[in-house]
Copies of this chain bind each other. A is one copy, B any other.
Amino acid sequence: MISYCTQCRWLLRASWVAQELLTTFAKELSEHDGELTLRPGTGGIFQVYIGDELIWDRARDGGFPDVAELKRLIRDRIAPKRDLGHIDRAALAE
């Protein structure tokens, strides 16, 4: 679930992140009958949840997630053995 602030006009950002995640994790989502919810909010909210777990919180984590980092965080939880390809190699090189 992605919560975003409508006052800040973050719908486009939230739906971009949604499309990234739905594309990258298409296999895992289809295997687990998964889905992704967009939830409008206010007050500068930008949060990403997996189930009840808050994976990213703009207030807590100091800004927006880098989408590659967000994918690694989600991969670590839902498919820890999966190789994300160049995203992982770039992280190793850092």
In the complex, what residues of B have CB within 8 A of residue A15's CB?
Answer: 15, 18-19, 22
Residue interface bits A7-30, CB-to-B below 8 A is 1, else 0? 000011001001100110010011
CB distance B40 to A22 under 8 Å? yes
Query: Could you tell me if B11 and A40 are in contact, using CB atoms closer than 8 angstroms?
Result: no
- Which size class do A's interface residues fall under? 20 to 34
User: A38 interface residue, CB < 8 Å from B?
Assistant: yes
Q: Are A26 and B39 in contact (CB under 8 A)?
A: no
Whether A19 pairs with B29 at a CB distance below 8 angstroms is: no
| Cβ-defined contact, B18 with A30, below 8 A | no
The 7 closest A-B pairs by CB, nearest first: A35-B39, A37-B37, A36-B38, A35-B37, A29-B40, A15-B15, A15-B19
